[in-house]
Amino acid sequence: MNDYQLQDDPDTKEKKFKRYAPRKDEPIYEEYKKYFFYSDAYKPLKYACETIIEQYEDEIFSLIAQEADFLADRLCIEKSGLCPKPETHSEL
C-alpha cells in the first residue's frame, strides 16, 4: 500500500490512488528501494481492500479449494463483479 499515493485529479478534482513506486523490473527500482516512504494516505485503500476480502472470504476459499485457473480473474469478474469483463477480440 505504501506504493500508492492519494492525489487530486487536476481536472475533475476527484481523489484517486495512483501508483508512484516503480516495479521490480523497472531500471530505477534498485535506487528507489533505498528509501522508505510512509503516509497515512494509504489507509482508506487498505481498509477498502480488507473489506472486499472479508466480504468475499467464502468465495476466495472456495476458489482456492477448487484450484481454479485464473483465480484473480474469476474472483474479480465472476464472484464479486468488481471488475469489468475483458473485451473479446476476434482474430481475423
What cell does 8 get?
487530486
Q: Is residue 56 part of a domain?
A: yes
> pTM of this prediction?
0.40
Domain residues for 75?
4-79
Tell me if 36 is assigned to some domain.
yes
Find the DSSP H helices in 1-92.
29-32, 43-55, 57-65, 71-73
Predicted confidence (pLDDT) per residue in 45-83, tens digit: 788 888 888 999 998 888 777 766 677 777 778 778 777
- Residue 85 within a domain: no
The reported pLDDT for the residue numbered 77 is 80
Report helix, strand or coil for 91. coil
Q: Are 29 and 22 in contact (CB under 8 A)?
A: yes
